[in-house]
Structure 1
Amino acid sequence: MDVADLTRELVSIPSHEDETAAGDFVESWLREQTAAAVERDEDGNVFARVGEGETTLALAGHHDVVPPDDSQVDADGSYVVERRDGRLYGRGTADMKGCVAAAMCALRDVDPAALGCELVFVSFVAEEAGCLGSEAAVDDGFAPDYAVVGEGSTGYSAAGVTDVAVAHKGRRGSTITAHGTAAHASEPESGENAIYRASDAVDVVRDLEFPSTDVMGHEVAGSVAVTEIDGGSAWNVVPERCEVTVDERTVPGERAPIERVEELPGVEWTVDQDLPPMACEDAAFADLVLGVAADSQDGTPEHVVKPHATDAGNLARAGTDCVVVGAAEPGEAHTADESVSLDVLERCYRIYRSVAERL
């Protein structure tokens, strides 16, 4: 079974509400088709290990997907998968069952005796729910020395070129809650208007400087934005509560000081989600992967920065030096016409296998 056929099999399995069946397929295939030591942890993450050595390299991905568009589901509930014009169409083709399949085939085809490291394939659960599977794995002690994460890195420097991402932003989502005292709107002076207090907090957020840093000569710039506001109970009541949602794109080593809003009376700040950013700190590893990527295609790949969080953030938190190399191009994932280039999937297979053999 080649990468295209394996991708088709894996993509056809629904995994937006429950990824158990997809995990079962990955686990069974690895047990049947490889000589790896395969295990499934209590969270549903699937691991497969071959080779020996003091250094560990992980080929990492995830087998859950976002909910499909109606056009991507058959009447029996299975996912529609179509092959045309050199591409495979269907929910999860680009994000990211295609590169999970490429990594599975790479693990199958390497010669364990020729490896200078332990090679670990891992497919995490619940990436789309906030990278929960990789978070649990890291908390349980999973910390390879190096990792190639198969999220999209194609088309960043030039169309069709598979680049090597050496950093990505994280996301910290938080809520500012302003408390006041309710009163009749005809006598506003007898209460404390929570919306006014929330407006003062919004002004604080608006004036914050965006965090930024440098990774291997590339600027990684974050952002902070108020994205939702909710307050008040009736047109004639001074509101006693108002909530403001803040989206921050974090960068390695830097955070915006949003906690300053708590210096205002009646205002508190809580963090709802904190997906770590990633920065590769081993330039030699990043250069090795870039060299492999260059040897695997006609284009000239570059080190690039991704704008959004992946499982690489949790791995980096554990001390793993990560890069992101994958087939998905900007704008392909999470769409009604999601697709992936079959040629680029084969390219990713070659990159994954070659990195393992050269490390």
Structure 2
Amino acid sequence: MDNVNELDLLQDVAVLTEQIMNIESVSGNEREIADQVHQALLKLEHLEVHRDQDAIVARTNFGRERRVVLAGHLDTVPLPRTEGAKGTVPAQVIDGVLYGRGATDMKGGVAVQLALAAELKDAKYDVTYVFYDHEEVEAAKSGLGRLAKNSPELLEADFAILLEPTNGTVEGGCNGTSRFVIRTHGKAAHSGRAWMGHNAIHDAAPILQRLADYQPQTITVQGLDYREGMNAVRISGGIAGNVIPDYCEVEVNYRFAPDKTLAQAEALVFDLFEGFEIERTDGAEGAKPGLDQEIAADLIRILGQEPKPKYGWTDVSRFSALGVSAVNFGPGDALLAHSDDEHVAQEDIRTCLKSLRSWLS
């Protein structure tokens, strides 16, 4: 490996963020960044390092009674196609703001993990640092899911933090997510003789009406209010402009609060669309906030901010499934993730590092 490109984990964490942002790592192309993270961690004698394809786990063994996980994904969504977009590669620094793909989601958080891994040679807890591939694509490819399957013992801990962007505030747990396809069937005919057929798209009108009439709930779980949502996200049907459609599919996404299991969410949707042909095509459990532990309360006290719920799904769900309470906490605004203007203030990355250093020291 060219020494010029090696990661310097002890430099200013904002500059480290820029360095890893300049390594393009769209999902499926994580090898280079994984290699560099792996090589940098291998140099740290206080860490035990493991690798599974493009996922790396580094662990301290201080002999502490409790262990925490700091986790983050190495991949990004594809680069923007808009000409002149700032949220691309390589990164740009403008007036103390770092622009580029992965600025918020989530190379700022990954840089904080790496800085702590190099810096903390003694800590209040033993720490496991997890860097993984394929988060921004279908769940079956997830590097964290692969680690949980192949080496679950490496992820054992009392508490976990996923360094997803939260604007520097703890966001507890996450909503679950599920997708369904609801189908109607008709009879094809020439549109000039429509009475000879039966229009499947017209039959989908009651599906859309039930969605329009549905009132999503806000549900309190361990003191945090989780807003649910149920929406049609795609509709398809028909084969040509002069043919009465003989089929229609409405895809529905249900985001459900972590008071429900995936099975309970499925039952609710099946009940709402009773009488229609329906299939669940995807789903992931939510995660309860995990803020009822002393170890989490310590972090909240240090930050001095009230925790918030995480409305979107994140990999805290995977840790919850392993029996590890987990929260989201990292630099940057999640609303900027995946945007053509993705950016993060350099000082926000430094502040995140200081907060976690204080918590762990």
Shorter-chain TM-score tier: 0.7 to 0.9
Which residue of the other structure, out of 96, 101, 106, is the alignment partner of 2:116? 106
The alpha carbon displacement at 1:65 in A equals: 0.7
Residue 5 of structure 1 aligns with which residue?
15
Which residue of the other structure, out of 148, 158, 165, is the alignment partner of 1:152? 165
SS in 1 for 2:173: strand
Measured in 2, the distance between the counterparts of 1:287 and 1:130 equals 33
Residue 24 of structure 2 aligns with which residue?
14
1:218-260 alpha-carbon deviations (Å, 9 max, x no partner)? 2111100112211112344332211111122221033262223
The alpha carbon displacement at 1:302 in A equals: 1.5
Measured in 2, the distance between the counterparts of 1:26 and 1:206 equals 48
SS in 2 for 1:263: coil
The alpha carbon displacement at 1:118 in A equals: 2.8
Could you tell me the TM-score, scaled by structure 2's length? 0.84
The one-letter code of the counterpart of 2:290 is E
1:253-294 alpha-carbon deviations (Å, 9 max, x no partner)? 3326222366325x23232x3243232234233321111223
Which residue of the other structure, out of 325, 334, 337, is the alignment partner of 1:321? 325
Measured in 2, the distance between the counterparts of 1:211 and 1:135 equals 30
SS in 2 for 1:302: coil
The alpha carbon displacement at 1:73 in A equals: 8.9
SS in 2 for 1:279: coil
Mapped pair 1:280 → 2:289 = yes
Which residue of the other structure, out of 181, 184, 189, is the alignment partner of 1:175? 181
Mapped pair 1:50 → 2:65 = no
Pairing 1:150-299 to 2, within 5 Å after superposition: 150-154=163-167, 162-185=168-191, 188=194, 191-254=197-260, 255=265, 257-260=268-271, 263-264=274-275, 267-271=277-281, 273-283=282-292, 284-294=294-304
Closer, same or farther: CA 188–261 of 1 in aligned 2, 3 Å = farther
Q: Is the 8 Å Cα contact of residues 21 and 100 (structure 2) preserved in structure 1?
A: yes
Q: Cα RMSD (Å) of the superposition?
A: 2.6
Q: Is the 8 Å Cα contact of residues 232 and 250 (structure 2) preserved in structure 1?
A: yes
Q: Is the 8 Å Cα contact of residues 107 and 353 (structure 1) preserved in structure 2?
A: no
Measured in 2, the distance between the counterparts of 1:233 and 1:217 equals 50
Closer, same or farther: CA 32–111 of 1 in aligned 2, 3 Å = closer
Residue 5 of structure 2 aligns with which residue?
none
How many equivalent pairs are there? 336
1:69-116 alpha-carbon deviations (Å, 9 max, x no partner)? 354699xxx92222232222221121111111111111221134x44x
The one-letter code of the counterpart of 2:314 is T
Pairing 1:35-184 to 2, within 5 Å after superposition: 35-42=46-53, 44-51=54-61, 52-69=63-80, 71=84, 79-112=89-122, 114-115=123-124, 117-130=125-138, 132-140=142-150, 141=152, 142-154=155-167, 162-184=168-190
Measured in 2, the distance between the counterparts of 1:88 and 1:190 equals 61
The alpha carbon displacement at 1:188 in A equals: 4.9
Sequence identity, in percent? Answer: 27
Q: Is the 8 Å Cα contact of residues 178 and 283 (structure 2) preserved in structure 1?
A: yes
Q: Is the 8 Å Cα contact of residues 261 and 268 (structure 1) preserved in structure 2?
A: no
Measured in 1, the distance between the counterparts of 2:259 and 2:135 equals 23
Measured in 1, the distance between the counterparts of 2:285 and 2:257 equals 8
